[in-house]
Structure 1
Amino acid sequence: MSGRRMIHVITPGDHFSPLTGSAIPTVVHGLATAAEQAGEPRAAVVVDRSTWQPRYDSADVIEYAGARGPRRRARYVDALRGRLGLTRSAVAAYYRPIADAVRAQPPSIVVAHNAPILPWLLRDSPHQVVLYAHNDLLRTYSRREAGRMLQSAAAIVCVSESLAEQTRARLPGPLSPRVHVVGNGVDATQFSPDPDRSPSRLRVMFMGRVIPDKGADVLVRAIAQLSGADLELLIVGRPGFAVDAPLTDHERQLRTLAAQSGADVRFRTFVPRPELPALLRTADVFVVPSRWPDPSPLTVGEALATGLPVVASRIGGIPEAVGDAGILVPPDDPAALAEALRGLINDPESRSALAAKARARAEQRDWSWSWRQLRAVLARV
């Protein structure tokens, strides 16, 4: 790294604040904290000045005045421009204030989270730019456009091998060796088991965005098949961060499904991150029923650190996050999920064994583990 400071760029308009559950700010906070603890120069993060406070104190804040994001039609036109070998002008305008803020800084390592446009915007700057992919960013890009946008990227980091495979497949051959994997970590001190918990009934928990992709409805259908089991299901979250936003069609359908299930299903709205550890300690089993290839959900690590047996979909990067500390089932399969839950309900010893494995795995994969992976990548660029 040659003593250079690291500047993280998060998605425009995202909040570098513990008041949200947004994944990228959580990852940046974890990496920045671990890096400083390892003796690295204090990191910085580029943040739209209008975003929420208080902010995490793990990095210096570089503020900028954000531009208006491109609308759907502009994004469609951008995709067409990209196919024609032209610059995606709308997204470039959206990120240009960020690029200008970065250009004003001394030469640094710029970590562009989910921003494939940024290596191109900073291609003639003294900064080293690393694309940090949390999702499949290049699905609307041709290989030619991806090569043009990322030619100047020093490295391309993906949060799971599953995502890395997708990314390599979308890149021209010469760029493929620049793809590296840095798995998401967890704060194993903040998230920890409750040694005194002795529940009168089993609590199964889902926590995350309540949208169809995340599969909370699959879990409700599975719970409905466990008639007679002494348990409750708690679904925590909303589609976004607004606690009192009107229910979406999907949320209303989910509540109808829950009422028809005959099971004890309860709902709780979005919870700020500082409240998550205590809430997770009230659970006995954690379920990640995603029906889409989630690259690396942070909730898996947080549940493992809390010492919870995890039952999760075998899709995307989820199996990499769970390892041997949980049970994997086919996605969108309520019967298979119900069978896995039934096994845990009927076998307390199996639950205890998985809980111990879960905690051990989380302790091995904290944010210092993630930082060491990223530090090794940066040492090679």
Structure 2
Amino acid sequence: MEFARQGEAAARATVPVVTPIAQLAYVFSEYSVGTGNAMATKIHAQARAHEAMGGRTYVVVSDRREHDYAEGTLVRYASSRPATREWFTDLERRLDAACGLTLGRRPLVARFHREALDAVPADAKALVVYNYAGAITDRLTRDFDGKIVLHLGNDVFRSWRPAEVRRVIARTHVTVAVSDYLAGTVVERLGSRPDNLHVLRNGVDTAGFRPGRRASREGMPPTILFVGNVVPHKGAHNLVAAARVLAHTTRNFRVRIVGSSGLRPSEGLSDYERELRRAAAPLGDLVEFTPFVDRHALPAVYAGADVFCMPVDWQEPAGQVVTEAMASGLPVVSARSGGIPEYLGHEGVYVDPRDANRLAEALHDLVTDPGERARRGRALRRRAESMTWDRNVQELMRLIGD
């Protein structure tokens, strides 16, 4: 452990700290513990690590929102966009996609980000733009003197022609993707790999997310945990279906589904959430639903569980909740989806979550075998300890500094 600390200190000393840098959050999103927005969580974690290294991080945010993270220097901008149309609309996306096909540029998303980009401080040496590749225009490259980083957390180029993708990546100093899987989608679309396309995997707060004292819950039924956006592609329904099968062989378990349909507290339930509760009703108290909890409360949620389930129905590029479960010392049962295996490695338990019987089998093996739970949980905790935000930021600084 002492050797590891010395190694990290040496790496920190040799990696150039570009200071200051600017991080562009989603337009009109909160920079707050009160949102489940993965980008806000990531920006906060990177700002904290960067500032611990002696750097300075500007976080460009809307003055229409509340922002309560302590780390990062907030740069607020005012928007002329009507409050009734704060978000980038589906119509605007469709129009921009048509412009991309015909004109090779996306003017509406560029206009949508203009006021935020105009607020970037003049002394910023680098600017990180998350996902909204259309905001990286020729105008931005002319007006911003520093290095531009496009940070890809999703397959944002689905509706883009290869020529469009090449042009926007060429405008960046570096484009980073959160997994080899996601970088591969870009390479597949282009037919070749741009020299400035790199993989920068997410970090995890291994100090905040730690294994709980499970011995204190001896005799209690093992808890299978789901955390995330409660929407169809996240697959909570797959877990409920498996729980119904599992209940035929043992009732010594509990399922806890934590989250809401949105990325913040919401009033009422979506149609999908209501359907989930109807499907779980025959299981009685074996399944518990907990609405959205903020970032401060999340470590205790993981610490109170025994198994984590990631039953997604889509190609998840990375999965922030997977790394949080790993850091919390939980064994993880997951779809072999997208970039998840790159984070979980060999110690993950992989099944097709749409097969309720196979998912129930995998969960049964863990809820009935505390030794196997502990072994996999320890291995995943060790793996998470190599995924710190310090290392993430050191690699980002190295790429920016190249």
Compute the displacement of 1:176 (Å). Answer: 1.6
- 1:8 and 2:26 correspond: no
Which residues of structure 1 form unaligned runs of 5+? none
Partner of 1:37: 52
Question: Does 350-359 or 265-274 show the bigger shift?
Answer: 350-359
State the one-letter code of the partner of 1:181: V
Question: Does 133-142 or 364-373 show the bigger shift?
Answer: 364-373
Q: Distance in 2 between matches of 1:310 and 1:122?
A: 42
Q: Distance in 2 between matches of 1:2 and 1:275?
A: 32
CA contact 1:191–1:305 (8 Å) conserved in 2: yes
Compute the displacement of 1:216 (Å). Answer: 0.3
Check 1:105–1:233 CA distance in 2 against 1; reply closer, same or farther (3 A cut). same
Check 1:70–1:353 CA distance in 2 against 1; reply closer, same or farther (3 A cut). closer
Q: Distance in 2 between matches of 1:326 and 1:143?
A: 35
Partner of 1:157: 176
Query: 1:341-365 CA deviation, whole Å, 9 max, x = no partner?
Result: 1111222211110111121111121
- 1:63 and 2:83 correspond: no
Q: Secondary structure at the match of 2:204?
A: coil
| TM-score w.r.t. length of structure 2 | 0.89
Partner of 2:60: 46
Compute the displacement of 1:242 (Å). Answer: 4.2
Compute the displacement of 1:278 (Å). Answer: 1.0
| TM-score w.r.t. length of structure 1 | 0.94
Which residues of structure 2 form unaligned runs of 5+? 1-15
1:179 to 197, 200, 206: 197
Compute the displacement of 1:5 (Å). Answer: 1.5
**Identical positions, percent:** 34
1:112 to 90, 109, 129: 129
State the one-letter code of the partner of 1:194: G
2:343 to 297, 318, 321: 321
CA contact 1:146–1:172 (8 Å) conserved in 2: no
Question: Does 260-269 or 136-145 show the bigger shift?
Answer: 260-269
Compute the displacement of 1:168 (Å). Answer: 2.1
Compute the displacement of 1:4 (Å). Answer: 3.9
Check 1:109–1:220 CA distance in 2 against 1; reply closer, same or farther (3 A cut). same
State the one-letter code of the partner of 1:133: L
Check 1:172–1:2 CA distance in 2 against 1; reply closer, same or farther (3 A cut). farther
CA contact 1:20–1:273 (8 Å) conserved in 2: yes
Partner of 1:92: 110
Partner of 2:157: 138
Check 1:131–1:171 CA distance in 2 against 1; reply closer, same or farther (3 A cut). farther
CA contact 1:19–1:272 (8 Å) conserved in 2: yes
Query: 1:291-325 CA deviation, whole Å, 9 max, x = no partner?
Result: 10111111111111111111111010111111133
Q: Secondary structure at the match of 2:141?
A: coil
CA contact 1:182–1:374 (8 Å) conserved in 2: yes
CA contact 1:236–1:271 (8 Å) conserved in 2: yes
Q: Secondary structure at the match of 2:224?
A: strand
Question: Does 218-227 or 197-206 show the bigger shift?
Answer: 197-206
Q: Matches of residues 337-376 of structure 1 in structure 2 within 5 Å?
A: 337-376=359-398
Q: Distance in 1 between matches of 2:170 and 2:262?
A: 34
Q: Matches of residues 301-312 of structure 1 in structure 2 within 5 Å?
A: 301-312=323-334
CA contact 1:187–1:366 (8 Å) conserved in 2: yes
State the one-letter code of the partner of 2:105: T
Query: 1:60-110 CA deviation, whole Å, 9 max, x = no partner?
Result: 0111123333422222111111101243222111111112112x5225200
Question: Does 230-239 or 26-35 show the bigger shift?
Answer: 26-35
CA contact 2:62–2:76 (8 Å) conserved in 1: yes
CA contact 1:205–1:233 (8 Å) conserved in 2: yes
- 1:207 and 2:227 correspond: yes
Partner of 2:237: 217
Q: Distance in 2 between matches of 1:208 and 1:255?
A: 16
Q: Secondary structure at the match of 1:105?
A: coil
CA-based RMSD: 1.8
Q: Distance in 1 between matches of 2:130 and 2:386?
A: 24
